Amino acid sequence: MNTSLLGIINWIISKNGEDILGDPKRLKPLFKYLAQNEPLDERIAFGRCIEIGSYKRLKKAKTNNARLKIKTILIQKLNKNTGINIQQCTNAIDLLDIAIYKNLAQKQIPFKKTKQYFNLISIKYNQIIKNVGNWFRKTTNKLKNKKSILITAAAIIIIILSFIAINKQTIIKPETNISVEDDLLELQRIIEHQEALSARIEQLRNQIEENNKTTNNNPLVSQVGTSEQSQLIERLNNELLMEMLVSKRQGMKDINGRILVNVVPVNYKNRNFRMNPNNLRNTVNESINLISQHARAYNINISFNAVFDNRNNGRYISINNSTEALNLYQRFSNSSYDFSILVLAIDTVERSYISYRENYTHAIMWFKDQNAHSANTLAHEIYHAFGAEDLYYEQGVVTREVEQNFRTLVGNSIMLSSSNTRLDPINAWLIGWNKNPEPWYAWFVNKRDTTNIDFF
């Protein structure tokens, strides 16, 4: 039982009422944000459980025996409709049942205490915002230079955004099994950080007022003062962006060493694998040779071993969905390698994609492109397994602005179009090859919105 996920669900109920479990449209944005760090398969299973109307069915139960029967029916329905394995379906329905009937003996979040601390934090935060606003109004009355006013406002906005970015998880996301002492220590840490920000704002105020006095006395010095303010804002902006980049890379691997590539032909749904799997060898080798060239350009030591699993007791493996594909990962991984890649070759024309699970578990669904498997498409998906991200426009997922800005600043990349043979420096940084990131890389990370692809 994932008590962390249960804590998130309980927190959502405490803020919005239990009936939100019967309203997927209301639940969706909250659950998507708060549970973003939970295992993907568990999030999807619970999301599907909500979508099939499990809440209303469970609420109709009058007795414990009726609940057990309804749960069994819902588990079977969830498994049949989605292809999610029985264990995950069971866990999802159990989570919902516990959230409704609160029959878990394990320690849950002390919501009353958490709410008190949350309110204290909010009061302190609002006080700081109020003080900043009052100071800004007073300062703008003294500053006659419009450019100075704009620079002052920009500096304040940057500091406030920094505060929000640092404390977002602490204030909003609930945690499980946190003691009262831990809550108090965390509250004290937040208050100290807020006071440090207040001191920084006061320092900026004094500096700007001093520059303004100098401006009034000497027009030449005015230009220098404005330049110093611009440099200060640029430095703060760069520090904030670099902080975002460091946060993005936390927990991610630096891809290097020995890489195992398992190429496994499979029967997918009602589509049998009919081609000669040996015909894939040259294409796979072409793909890993391209990746090796990219690695050498960044002075990364990497080597590949491609293994072709042609038969399983005289028959190809059969799968029906990405969940079954992910379940094969451990079977083909090898701990003697630094990284293992699972490629499921499918003998039909369709768009290739990769499915993820926690701890770099993945399954590349490698379909044909225009009646043939493409080496560049495979390289593109392997980079996804490493941790790279798409940067091309896709309606409802990646905006045109992202692609256009990327083309302007970087040019082209295999992560923008599989017809390209170049790896961009942003994705090279994401997989640990580019050791000198630029602050503006932060604008391109986490730009994919998969809301319209997968509900949860």
Given 218, 249, 280, the domain boundary residue is 249
Domain that holds residue 36: 3-101
Residues 400 and 279 placed together within one structural domain of the fold: yes
pLDDT at 230: 64
Does residue 428 lie within any of the structural domains?
A: yes
Does residue 106 lie within any of the structural domains?
A: no
Does residue 432 lie within any of the structural domains?
A: yes
Q: Poorest-confidence range of 6-20, 105-119, 251-265, 431-445?
A: 105-119
Tokens of 453: 């692809």
High-pLDDT (> 70) share of the chain, % = 65
Highest mean pLDDT among 249-258, 264-273, 286-295: 286-295
- Binned at pLDDT 50, 70 and 90, residue 377 comes out as very high
Give ∠ CA 419-266-269 in degrees, rounded to 5: 100
pLDDT at 173: 42
Rounded to two decimals, the pTM is: 0.52
pLDDT at 380: 95
Question: Given a cut of 50, is residue 298 above it in pLDDT?
Answer: yes
Residues 308 and 228 placed together within one structural domain of the fold: no
| β pairing state of 361-368 and 353-357 | antiparallel
Residues 198 and 276 placed together within one structural domain of the fold: no
The residue count of the chain comes to 456
Given 219, 249, 279, the domain boundary residue is 249
Q: Is 394 or 69 the better-scoring residue by pLDDT?
A: 69
Tokens of 132: 């900043």
User: Residue 363 sits in a domain of what CATH number?
Assistant: 3.40.390
For residues 355 and 102, give the distance between their C-alpha atoms in angstroms, rounded to a whole number.
Answer: 33
Q: What is the dihedral of CA 19, 20, 24, 29, to 10 degrees?
A: 180
Give ∠ CA 323-336-364 in degrees, rounded to 5: 25
Does residue 95 lie within any of the structural domains?
A: yes
Residues 269 and 174 placed together within one structural domain of the fold: no
Query: Strand runs (DSSP E) across 238-288, as ranges?
Result: 257-268
pLDDT at 371: 86
pLDDT at 244: 72
Instruction: Determine phi and psi for 398, rounding to 5 degrees.
Output: -125, 130
Fill in the amino acid letter for 11.
Answer: W
Segment 398-402 long-range contacts (CB within 8 Å, at least 24 positions apart) = 398/447, 398/448, 398/449, 399/447, 402/444, 402/447
Does residue 132 lie within any of the structural domains?
A: yes
Question: Given a cut of 90, is residue 205 above it in pLDDT?
Answer: no
Question: Given a cut of 90, is residue 281 above it in pLDDT?
Answer: yes
Segment 278-287 long-range contacts (CB within 8 Å, at least 24 positions apart) = 278/308, 278/310, 280/308, 280/345, 280/373, 281/306, 281/308, 283/373, 283/374, 283/375, 283/378, 284/308, 284/343, 284/375, 284/378, 286/375, 287/375, 287/376, 287/378, 287/379, 287/382
Tokens of 323: 């969940």
Residue 183 makes CB contacts below 8 A (sequence gap 6+) with 110, 113, 114, 117
Question: Given a cut of 90, is residue 384 above it in pLDDT?
Answer: yes
Q: Which residues pair with 361 in a beta bridge?
A: 357
Does residue 328 lie within any of the structural domains?
A: yes
pLDDT at 178: 41
For residues 386 and 430, give the distance between their C-alpha atoms in angstroms, rounded to a whole number.
Answer: 9
pLDDT at 168: 47
Question: Given a cut of 70, is residue 3 above it in pLDDT?
Answer: yes
pLDDT at 307: 93
Does residue 434 lie within any of the structural domains?
A: yes
Burial of 436 (0-12, 13-18, 19+ CB in 10 A): exposed
Q: Is 316 or 197 the better-scoring residue by pLDDT?
A: 316
High-pLDDT (> 90) share of the chain, % = 26
- Binned at pLDDT 50, 70 and 90, residue 443 comes out as confident
Tokens of 19: 């009936």
Given 77, 101, 125, the domain boundary residue is 101
User: How confident is the model over 192-217, as a mean pLDDT?
Assistant: 61
User: How confident is the model over 374-382, as a mean pLDDT?
Assistant: 96
Number of domains the chain contains: 3
Residues 91 and 150 placed together within one structural domain of the fold: no
For residues 200 and 190, give the distance between their C-alpha atoms in angstroms, rounded to a whole number.
Answer: 15
Average pLDDT, the chain: 77
Residues 173 and 205 placed together within one structural domain of the fold: yes
Residues 328 and 358 placed together within one structural domain of the fold: yes
Question: Given a cut of 70, is residue 107 above it in pLDDT?
Answer: no
Give the chain's radius of gyration (CA, Å).
Answer: 27
pLDDT tens for 332-356 read 999 999 999 999 999 999 999 999 8
Residues 275 and 372 placed together within one structural domain of the fold: yes
Residues 84 and 198 placed together within one structural domain of the fold: no
Residue 13 makes CB contacts below 8 A (sequence gap 6+) with 20, 21, 99
Residues 316 and 390 placed together within one structural domain of the fold: yes
pLDDT at 303: 96
pLDDT tens for 325-337 read 999 999 999 999 9
Tokens of 322: 């990405």
- Binned at pLDDT 50, 70 and 90, residue 306 comes out as very high
Question: Given a cut of 70, is residue 81 above it in pLDDT?
Answer: yes
- Binned at pLDDT 50, 70 and 90, residue 378 comes out as very high
Residues 238 and 287 placed together within one structural domain of the fold: no
Residues 267 and 309 placed together within one structural domain of the fold: yes
Q: Which residues pair with 315 in a beta bridge?
A: 312
Does residue 414 lie within any of the structural domains?
A: yes
